[in-house]
Amino acid sequence: MSTRKKSINRDEDGLPKFKTGEEFDALSPQEKEKVWNYYDRLIRSSELRDHTPEEAAIIAKQRRHHRKSGRPKVGKGAKMVAVTIELGLLNQADAFAKKHGMKRAEMVAKGLLSVMGEQ
């Protein structure tokens, strides 16, 4: 039986090399701490590389998809407006909308159309 300490294979950053969870678990607590400290830090822009064309295409596709997510556009779209309504009237309107399975905005839109004579 050898009493020599097993040398740890290290990469260019001085971190111990490991490929599996079992290999990581076999590291000493000090080596695990060293790995943790390396990855739990701000990464300098000088350490980053440019995206490959394939990576850039994937990122562009994800950005396009992200912009499309959310509420579907109805008509010309929607704009949020701030309107002051007396609290008693607002409570009555909310109760009415809830009773009739409507959202507040839907009820307001129907009311506007009704007043303008387009319903």
Enter the tokens of residue 112.
């506007």
Rounded Cα–Cα distance for residues 11 and 34 (Å): 13
Q: Residue 17 pLDDT > 90, yes or no?
A: no
pLDDT in tens, 54-95: 999 999 998 887 766 666 777 888 888 999 999 999 999 999
What does the domain layout of the chain look like in residue ranges? 78-119
**Phi and psi for 40 in degrees, rounded to 5?**
-95, 65
How many Cα atoms occupy the beta-carbon half-sphere of 28 within 13 Å? 9
For 14, the 3-state DSSP assignment is coil
pLDDT of residue 100: 95
Kindly tell me if the per-residue pLDDT of 15 is higher than 60. Answer: yes
Backbone angles phi, psi at 100, to 5 degrees: -100, 15
Q: What is the pLDDT of residues 28-63, one digit of tens each?
A: 999 999 999 988 988 888 888 999 999 999 999 988
Decide if 116 contacts 105 (C-beta within 8 A). no
Distance of alpha carbon 15 from alpha carbon 30, whole angstroms: 11
Q: Is the pLDDT of residue 2 over 60?
A: no
